[in-house]
Structure 1
Amino acid sequence: MALKRMDNVGIVVEDLDTAIAFFRELGLALEGRATIEGEWAGRVTGLGNQHVEIAMMQTPDGHSRLELSRFLAPAVVADHRQAPVNALGYLRVMFTVDDLDDTLERLFPLGAQLVGEVVQYQDTYRLCYIRGPEGLLLGLAQELG
């Protein structure tokens, strides 16, 4: 049996509406919102009886999704949002954009902050890391040529 695809990347947030607005401005479309609760969901996550609001965001090409989750119960137990880029574990999501400068100009008013600086890798990419809503670490890349 072979792997078919990567379905989505999940990010836990405190403010679901703010996160949705940010990722919409980045270019993702809101595919849907739902409340997931009950013992059946907790059997998957190992959290027991849980209550979570989720929003599924889809990339413009339709191939990738970002699942934003806000846990109502049980309470959030850890916060890794300010971890540096060399921390162990899942760290960031990288998005390819048409125009890096335009994307940054649109995201800065929504609270995005540049982590380091925009750099160019050979004649292939312009890249940067930003902190988005709630300090989430995102990578942005613009293909060149």
Structure 2
Amino acid sequence: MEGPGKKKTEMTNQLGVLNALDIGKTQWYHFTAIVIAGMGFFTDAYDLFSISFITKLLGRIYYFDALSEKPRTLPPRIVAAVNGMAFCRTLAGQLFFGWLGDKLGRKRVYGLTLMLMVIFSIASGLSFGKSPDGVMATLCFFR
């Protein structure tokens, strides 16, 4: 059973850690941590924000109509599926890998997620299928 004394001790410990960070000297480790965290944020944000441009290109490539003067676009259901998969994957990944990071250690899980991102990014670029809808289905799977 938690009492007010335990909560006060936890708060004191947390403030002690923050105070140690404030008065500590800046070391190479701090720059490394900032760069690694920044790279993770950049790759995730790039993935989420670039998909809107990529869907326009995919529409012109896979739903091309030579008789039409206007460039083709992806059907709305496919745009929703591709974008929806990105956000569902992000939510599920944050919850699952956050939990796994608590269990196995953040450093190990960060390396695992980095490898998975690289592998599935390459696989997304190599999406295959006999029809445009098949290509979009494999793209959604790898995203």
Same fold (TM over 0.5): no
TM-score by length of 1: 0.23
User: Under a length normalisation based on structure 2, what TM-score does the superposition of the two structures give?
Assistant: 0.23
Larger radius of gyration: 2
The structure showing larger relative contact order (alpha-carbon pairs under 8 Å, at least 6 residues apart) is 1
